[in-house]
């Protein structure tokens, strides 16, 4: 169970490789254990793995690599043994994935590569501190991730447009870029398979994740999201954090101003996340992470 990949005919081939499937609030991932960093993942292969009709199906791929074996993670190896090499479903490389970090940590514990409790995960957005709660009867413990501090890089407001609608949005960076728009009805976001228009484009030179948000009650919001490189997903962890930060600023609850931490419940189509911004600016996200399947990639399919 949970074997490392067996590489055949050089690093481009995944013959006999094990994979797992997991999700966090239904934001789902193919997990590829590759501790020695020998696998090559060209964008076309990632897209095939994530194809929901002709592949395994997922919003992205989590490659599990020892930090010491990956050039991007090597500077973080003293802090975090494992590096989350995350790819969007179109094969593009992403800096960070909040739901992905929770699923990644769940895999490490399941595989015996880490223990429940506190652990560190290296990402392209830096090291993230994670706490995997002890399992409860009938349910795995929830996972909390310190997502770092939000940045508001400016401009202070951008404009998001869908069809006949347009809204002002806040530019929030959680290690990856977000545009957060508060709307009257989530249905106004329309079909989010295609990326909404965001202006000025210069605010997001590498593309942007766009969140549409409605209020559900005090410190309680709901959202939909178009994820850069994946389309609409059932959840986005960094997006939920960006939404919480934007809502706190709108509501006059910025912890740096009030001197008090603030917590919001954020409903996503795939479930619920609880997001807290501490007085020191660190944002913490708590939610479920589930491993649902394990298997072996077909050599015939890979060669086709």
Please report whether residue 4 resides in a domain.
no
Q: In this structure, are 135 and 165 located in the same domain?
A: no
Please report whether residue 209 resides in a domain.
yes
Q: In this structure, are 183 and 278 located in the same domain?
A: yes
Higher pLDDT, 128 or 155: 128
Please report whether residue 44 resides in a domain.
yes
Please report whether residue 51 resides in a domain.
yes
Active-site pick, 103, 160, 169, 236: 236
Please report whether residue 1 resides in a domain.
no
Question: How many angstroms separate the CA atoms of 53 and 110, rounded?
Answer: 28
Active-site pick, 50, 97, 160, 289: 97
pTM to 2 decimal places: 0.91
Q: In this structure, are 128 and 22 located in the same domain?
A: yes
Question: Does the pLDDT at position 1 exceed 60?
Answer: no
Please report whether residue 9 resides in a domain.
no
Q: In this structure, are 135 and 166 located in the same domain?
A: no
What confidence tens digit (pLDDT) does each residue in 137-150 have?
777 789 999 999 99
Classify residue 38 by its DSSP letter: -
Q: In this structure, are 58 and 128 located in the same domain?
A: yes
What confidence tens digit (pLDDT) does each residue in 268-303 have?
999 999 999 999 999 999 999 999 999 999 888 877
Based on the residue annotation, tell me whether 97 is a catalytic residue of this protein.
yes
Residues at the annotated binding site for substrate? 27, 88, 98-99, 176, 209, 227-228, 237-238
Q: In this structure, are 111 and 33 located in the same domain?
A: yes
CA atoms within 13 A on the CB side of 125: 23
Q: Is 137 left (phi over 0), alpha (psi -120 to 50) or beta?
A: beta
DSSP states along 201-267: GGG-TT--EEEEEEEEETTEEEEEEEETTTEE-S--HHHHHHHHHHHHHHTT--HHHHSS-EEEEEE
Kind of pairing, strands 126-132 and 290-296?
Answer: unpaired
| Cα–Cα distance list, 252 to 124, 158, 241, 257, 282 (Å) | 31, 20, 17, 8, 18
Residues at the annotated binding site? 27, 88, 98-99, 176, 209, 227-228, 237-238
Query: The domain spanning residue 35 has which CATH number?
Result: 3.10.310.10
Q: In this structure, are 65 and 118 located in the same domain?
A: yes
pLDDT score, position 65? 98
Tracing tokens 């603030």 back to the chain, one arrives at 262
> Domain span at residue 74?
18-142+289-303
User: Mean pLDDT, to the nearest integer, of 52-60?
Assistant: 96
Please report whether residue 138 resides in a domain.
yes
Question: How many angstroms separate the CA atoms of 195 and 232, rounded?
Answer: 9
Q: In this structure, are 169 and 266 located in the same domain?
A: yes
Percent pLDDT > 70 in the chain is 95
**Residue 203 near residue 158, CB atoms below 8 Å:** yes
Q: In this structure, are 95 and 187 located in the same domain?
A: no
Q: In this structure, are 58 and 162 located in the same domain?
A: no
Kind of pairing, strands 220-227 and 262-268?
Answer: parallel
**Residue 135 near residue 141, CB atoms below 8 Å:** yes
What confidence tens digit (pLDDT) does each residue in 6-36 have?
433 333 445 568 999 999 999 999 999 999 9
Q: In this structure, are 117 and 138 located in the same domain?
A: yes
User: Mean pLDDT, to the nearest integer, of 62-70?
Assistant: 98
pLDDT score, position 134? 87
Classify residue 116 by its DSSP letter: S
Please report whether residue 53 resides in a domain.
yes
Q: In this structure, are 163 and 133 located in the same domain?
A: no
Based on the residue annotation, tell me whether 236 is a catalytic residue of this protein.
yes
The number of folded domains in the chain is: 2
């Amino acid at each position: 169970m949970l074997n490392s990949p067996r590489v055949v005919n050089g690093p481009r081939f995944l013959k006999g490789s094990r994979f797992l499937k997991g999700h966090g609030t239904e934001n789902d991932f193919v997990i590829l254990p590759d501790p020695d960093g020998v696998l090559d993942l060209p964008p076309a292969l990632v897209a095939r793995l994530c194809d929901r009709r002709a592949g395994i199906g997922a919003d992205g791929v989590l490659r599990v690599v020892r930090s010491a074996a990956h050039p991007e993670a090597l500077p973080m190896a003293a802090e975090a043994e494992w590096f989350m090499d995350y790819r969007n479903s179109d094969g593009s490389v992403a800096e960070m994935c909040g739901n992905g970090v929770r699923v990644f940590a769940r895999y490490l514990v399941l595989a015996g590569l880490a223990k429940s409790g506190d652990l560190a995960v290296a990402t392209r957005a830096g090291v993230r501190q994670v706490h995997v709660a002890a399992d409860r009867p009938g349910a795995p413990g929830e996972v909390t991730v310190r997502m770092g501090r939000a940045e508001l890089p400016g401009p202070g407001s951008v404009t998001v447009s869908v069809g006949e609608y347009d809204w002002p949005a806040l530019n929030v960076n959680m290690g990856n870029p977000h545009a957060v728009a508060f709307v009257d009805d989530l249905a106004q976001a329309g079909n989010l398979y295609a990326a909404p228009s965001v202006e000025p484009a210069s605010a997001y030179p590498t593309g942007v994740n766009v969140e549409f948000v409605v209020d559900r009650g005090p410190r309680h919001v709901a959202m939909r999201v178009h994820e850069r490189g994946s389309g609409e997903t059932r959840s986005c962890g960094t997006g939920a954090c960006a939404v919480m930060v934007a809502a706190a600023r709108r509501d006059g609850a910025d912890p740096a101003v009030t001197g008090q931490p603030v917590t919001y419940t954020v409903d996503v189509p795939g479930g619920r996340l609880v997001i807290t911004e501490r007085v020191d600016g660190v944002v913490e996200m708590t939610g479920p992470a589930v491993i649902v399947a394990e298997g072996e990639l077909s050599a015939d399919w890979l060669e086709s």
